[in-house]
Amino acid sequence: MDTTPSLPVLSAEEQRVLGALMEKAKATPEYYPLTLNALVAACNQKTSRKPVVQYDDSTVITTLDALRKKGLVSTVVGGSSRVTKYKHNFAVVYPVIPAEVTIICLLLLRGPQTPGELNTNSGRMYEFESLEEVQSFLDNLANANPPLVRQLPKRPGQKEARYMQLLGGMAVPAEDDLIAEGAESSAGLAPRLAKVEAELAALRAEFDKLMQELS
């Protein structure tokens, strides 16, 4: 019997906090789990983030509480420091391996990406062997129960399809909606342009014929 919980729909703040914890667990394990100050700084980074945000302590604390209730974050206290620290439990709640956690993390922090972009952006988090390996992990995540990623329609002129994570729900990112609307508008405009061009050509032919008769 599959006991994997259904996928929660996380707010933008929850996605950013969870993604930041995932990233730092891999990129800077010596400083992980994170203190509140370190986590706020990780959320507000100006690099490797889309969009760039400016969360205050209160926003992050409220978000941590919401993630803790969902079982995705836990606190750590003890050792040489009495400061409360935070860690993510994503790989505990869902049956994912480190490479897949890296992909989910990148999609949470940077938005939809192609396999090539994921391979380039993985940096110190995970070293993929090839684009084929990235694609294989994406396929696993897309076919998981519940699915964790989905493929987006290709943009005009784009060779690689992009993928989005589903922790924020199934809604297509706004920018992709606009692109799709633009593509639909262009598709509808093409027949009308062809008709106008045909009518102009007919008028030009009649005009040329009339000029020849007059001359």
| pLDDT tier at 8, thresholds 50, 70, 90 | very high
**Of the candidates 123, 139, 165, which is a domain's last residue?**
165
33 and 55 housed in the same domain = yes
Residues forming beta bridges with residue 34, ordered by sequence position: 86
53 and 159 housed in the same domain = yes
Domain annotation covers residue 121 = yes
Report the share of the chain in percent with pLDDT over 90.
Answer: 68
93 and 159 housed in the same domain = yes
Q: Residue 175 pLDDT > 90, yes or no?
A: no
Phi and psi, residue 122, nearest 5°:
-65, -25
Q: Residue 184 pLDDT > 60, yes or no?
A: no
The CATH number linked to 133 is 1.10.10.10
79 and 62 housed in the same domain = yes
Q: Residue 45 pLDDT > 90, yes or no?
A: yes
Domain annotation covers residue 3 = no
154 and 177 housed in the same domain = no
Handedness of CA 103, 105, 108, 111 (dihedral sign): negative
90 and 194 housed in the same domain = no
158 and 185 housed in the same domain = no
129 and 81 housed in the same domain = yes
Residue range of the domain that includes 57:
12-165
109 and 192 housed in the same domain = no
Selected residue with higher pLDDT from 7 and 205: 7
20 and 92 housed in the same domain = yes
d(CA 190, CA 183): 11
Read off the pLDDT of each residue in 158-185 and give the average, rounded to a whole number: 73
| Per-residue tokens: 36 | 């509140």
90 and 30 housed in the same domain = yes
Q: Residue 189 pLDDT > 70, yes or no?
A: no
142 and 204 housed in the same domain = no
